Structure 1
Amino acid sequence: MEYVEKITREEVRSSMEEYITEGTGHSVDFATIEEAIEASVKSIHQRVNDFEVLTQEMIDDQAEDYDGYLDGAEVGDLVWGDNEMWVSQGTVESWIYEEEGLAHGKDLDVRDIESLVADHLIVDRLKKFNSK
């Protein structure tokens, strides 16, 4: 969408680095933590920029198969696209709450951080648009 500022790779990397600690782990698929971080940055960047202004048609189309993911959203709100469904700001915020609760006080793996960073970046964009 033209009127939603794209999330850049630099933003993704910066957000990832906020969560990386000495105790952060990574998959054996990667030789180093830096390789794991770069793979996560690429993955996040590829999937976080799918935003759309919600229409009644979008609500009707997904009501049967994906009920609940648009909770709290109204026609005209910005929503985020997650594969085949649209997701409201409130739903992504609930995901963050759950992820942070599970992560509290633990050393995380880069893949765990990936989900948390993606959700925070998405919510930031949704908030900027929906607070207007």
Structure 2
Amino acid sequence: MTRDGEVAVRQHGQETAVATPGLGETVLVDADGDEPTVHVPTGVAVEYHDGAGDELKTDGGRLADRTEVAAEGFGLEADETRRLAYISAVLFVATGWTASSGNAVMTGLVGLAAVVIGGLACLALRSGPA
């Protein structure tokens, strides 16, 4: 969700915003629809560029040819991911203990929880922090 004074890009259900305090309102680029849409507040000058031949200007600094940012993973810290793995291991041990007690319902519930939490831990470990 964007706030006033941001430039935001929405793509694949995720929104990335950059604070622009001088803007006062939000500029939103929505690439999720059938046709990409740019929402610009009234009172903002809009310039159209047809191709790569248009020269970009800076305030004296260096202009990067391309800047790319990708957000991947669950954004879990390494400690949180390890905790998930440890909890899953404890639940697998508890599954074995409840199986020996003869309570099939409890064994099934604890085993299911162990598999789900273990699966989440594996996904989080493979995806890394965002």
TM-score by length of 1: 0.32
Q: Which has the higher contact order (CA 8 A, sep 6+)?
A: 1
Q: Higher Cα Rg: structure 1 or 2? A: 2
Question: Which is richer in strand?
Answer: 2
For normalisation by structure 2, the TM-score amounts to 0.32
When you count helix as a share of all residues, which structure comes out higher? 1
